Amino acid sequence: MKKTMALPIKQIKKYNFYPSLRARACRVWIAKFNGQPSSFNCVFVDNQGGAIQALAKTRDLPTFAATIIE
């Protein structure tokens, strides 16, 4: 079985899929539109100091919320 290595944030390219990210979620929020959740948002920081904002659609909120480990 091939082991997937997480890339440092500075090597991530826009619009590409990356199966894993090893980083700290330093901020998590759920944006709302007309009182309803509209997106799940995070700011991730890796151990090299790189940072990136990530966004997921509301329908994927349970999946992403479950994968973030406190």
Q: What is the pTM of this model?
A: 0.73
Model confidence over 37-67: pLDDT tens digits?
888 899 999 999 999 998 888 888 888 777 7
Q: Read off the pLDDT band of 33 (50, 70, 90).
A: very high
Query: Taking the C-alpha atoms of 33, 39, 31 and 51 in order, what is their torsion angle to the nearest 10 degrees?
Result: -150
User: Comparing C-alpha atoms, which of 10, 37, 33 is closest to residue 23?
Assistant: 10
Contact call for residues 40 and 61 (beta carbons, < 8 A): yes
